[in-house]
A and B are shown apart, each in its own frame.
Chain A
Amino acid sequence: MCGDICVVVETLRGQVAEITYVMLAAGRQLAQGLKTKLTAVLLGQGVQKLADTLGAADRVAVLEHPALAEFNPDAYLTALAAVFAGRTPRVILCGHTAMGTDLACGLARRLKLPVATSCRTFAIEGPDATFAALTCGGKLIAAGRLPDPSCVATVMAGGYKADAGKVAKTPPIETLPVPAGLDAVRTRFKQYIEPPAGDVDIAKQPILVSVGRGVQNKDNIALAEELAKALGGVVSGSRPVIDQVWLPSTRLVGKSGKQVKPKLYLALGISGAPEHAEGMRDAELIVAINRDEKAPIFGFAHFGAAVDVLELIPALTARVKQA
């Protein structure tokens, strides 16, 4: 693994998570540019069979142990630190996700390496490997060098297509020895709590009228409901709207909510932060209303208008009803 690009594979309930393929796509580009190998590191219990789905890698290093059966931050960290100790991979890629962000910083400090977070794309510039990271809610891009000889980076969705990391090939497997200390970790997976059922599934709706913090308060949700009704769609929202309990958690669009791909996504008072974009940027038609004409959402919406949503919603509802 010395000098390799290493991808820390993410699995949830026995399935490889999509971000893994995004990392493999990114890792392939880096490995090609730096003329090195791409290694996928797969932790878990009974997961070796998943190696078949990691054909984009030159090899898969597998470590199995009962303590790794479900994600357990301390156990995964202990295992990864042992896997990489003394090996100096060129870059260790972790997902910029619930799992990857629990691991990246602790791993980097245990290995005494710098860490670059929220990377979207990488490039080779002369002898250097560089990263571009999205920061400040998507309002800025930060660029830097991936420090030599080794570093950790977290990868966000959006910079590479997951499909580019899916290659039908069975890579060679290396079984890693079980490191000491896995039985002595202080964290333990207890149980899963299933998502609440019973509400409409926003991922199956063709028309979403999605509201953000720009709608100002809970009372204004009714305006969006009326527009949704006129359009034959349902109302969804961004994280602050859910956190304020203006809408139930089943209506959350984004990284921690649902991935949606409706025919129409009407974004009302949503800034377009990367965590929101992750859940909706593949919608067929995105129309954004935001009074800040520099809002990041206009960078990927198809149509936009920089007007006040509270004025626009009733006006649009009236026009739609006239149809």
Chain B
Amino acid sequence: MDIVVLCKFVPDLVEDLEIDASTHLLDRNFLRLMPNELDDHALEEALLLKERHGGTVTVVTVDAGDVDEALYTAAAKGADRVVKIVGEGLDQGLSSQRLAALFAQAAGEWPHDLILTGTQAVDDLDGFAGALVAARLGMPYVGYVTKVASENGAVVARKEYPGGLNADIEIVGQAVLGIQSAEKPPRYVVTSKVMAAMKSVTIEEFEAGDAQADLELPITGMAVPQSAAHAEMIVGSVTEVAEKLAKLLRERGLVA
């Protein structure tokens, strides 16, 4: 089975997010980017499938953030090819529609029975890359997938519903799957293997060209939510906080 994994970089949410005073959008100047967590699960699921059924894994990402390191890491984990989509302004934040246009173009260049990607990314606003890629390529899409199996020439995607219920959906032919979590936690790879990949692996480049997105969504502004009902903050040292909290819980009859 030949699999293409689509990965994107997203804002690191541990950092403070600032709004640009002139555009009213997320200020990307000092933004730290990191790989989208669910894409990492998609890569893991692809590697598990390769281990079981053979085939190849090609990882495609867009040139924004520390992508080379992420691609070498993917290669060290077992990806056969690593590809970077390069072009002007790709690090300025892409809409999902634009990203999907690029991914759909690039994915076609490499063999793919399956395309896997994270079911969504933390900064999606105008769609999800995987579902949009599927629509562009005319392939079926199933999201919220937690397990992928290959049975009698068909793919069976385990789809997650609330409360721990799952459903198996069978797909005949090529498909795009949005991964919610891999069957196992994504594997860890030691730095020495990543360093070795840096020496032996070549990152292939794919020119973005001037493929423009259509159906863009007008975002007029962003803001940090100002909640009217902010939590009442308990201040002090850890000991003081523990003391006040225990008192609060006792007053409310919550200490058994």
**Residue positions of A touching B, CB distance < 8 A:** 12, 70-74, 97-98, 101-102, 104-106, 108-110, 112-118, 130, 133-145, 147, 151, 185-196, 207, 230-232, 239-240, 243-245, 249-250, 252, 255-259, 263-264, 271, 285-288, 292-294, 296-308, 311-312, 315-316, 318-320, 322-323
Contact = CB atoms under 8 A, between A and B. Distances in A.
Contacts of A232: 255-256
Given A109-B215, A255-B162, A298-B233, A312 B242 contact: yes
What are the 7 tightest A-B residue pairs by CB atom distance, in nearest-first order? A195-B164, A232-B256, A105-B131, A319-B246, A304-B231, A299-B227, A315-B242
A296 B99 CA distance: 28
Contacts of B19: 140
Given A190-B169, A315-B241, 13 more contacts: A98-B144, A101-B120, A101-B143, A105-B132, A114-B216, A114-B217, A187-B170, A243-B185, A292-B14, A305-B245, A312-B241, A315-B239, A319-B246
Interface stretch (B46-54, B152-160, B189-197): B152-160
A158 B173 CA distance: 38
Given A70-B167, A138-B225, A186 B122 contact: no
B217 A98 contact: no
Interface of B: 11, 13-14, 16-17, 19, 26, 37, 41, 96-97, 119-120, 122-128, 131-132, 134-136, 140-144, 156, 158-173, 175, 178, 180-181, 185, 215-225, 227, 229-235, 238-239, 241-243, 245-246, 248-250, 252, 254-256
Given A106-B141, A207-B254, A231-B256, A140 B224 contact: yes
A257 B243 CA distance: 32
Contacts of B144: 98, 101-102, 256
Contact of B218 (A98, A147, A189): A147
A307 B238 CA distance: 7
Given A98-B144, A250-B164, A256-B144, A135 B232 contact: no
Contact of B254 (A147, A264, A293, A298): A264
B222 A140 contact: yes
A187 B165 contact: no
A43 B163 CA distance: 23
Contact of B127 (A115, A145, A263): A115
A186 B220 contact: no
Contact of A285 (B131, B161, B230, B254): B254
Contact of B125 (A101, A133, A151, A257): A133
A15 B53 CA distance: 38
Nearest to A323: B255
A117 B127 contact: yes
Nearest to B26: A140
A73 B142 contact: yes
A202 to B, nearest CB: 11
B233 A71 contact: no
Given A101-B120, A144-B220, A307-B238, A196 B140 contact: no
B74 to A, nearest CB: 19
B164 A186 contact: no
B15 to A, nearest CB: 10
A102 B126 contact: no
Contacts of A249: 164
B125 A142 contact: yes
Contacts of B169: 72-73, 187-190
Contact of A190 (B160, B165, B168): B168
A244 B239 contact: no
A139 B122 CA distance: 10
B140 A73 contact: yes
Contact of A302 (B141, B224, B231): B231
A180 to B, nearest CB: 17
A296 to B, nearest CB: 7
A319 B255 CA distance: 10
A2 to B, nearest CB: 20
Contact of A12 (B161, B225, B241): B161
Nearest to A290: B231
Given A294-B16, A303-B231, A145 B218 contact: yes
A105 B242 contact: no
B127 A186 contact: no
Contact of B225 (A74, A141, A188, A319): A141
Central interface residue in A108, A112, A140, A252, by most chain B CB within 10 Å: A140
Nearest to A185: B140
B135 A143 contact: no
B131 A300 contact: no
Contacts of A191: 167-168
Contacts of A292: 14
Contacts of B254: 207, 231, 263-264, 285
Contacts of B125: 116-118, 133, 135, 142, 144
Given A256-B180, A298-B230, A304-B232, A245 B131 contact: no
Nearest to B254: A264
Contacts of A140: 17, 19, 26, 222-225
Contacts of A230: 255-256
B191 to A, nearest CB: 19
B246 A187 contact: no
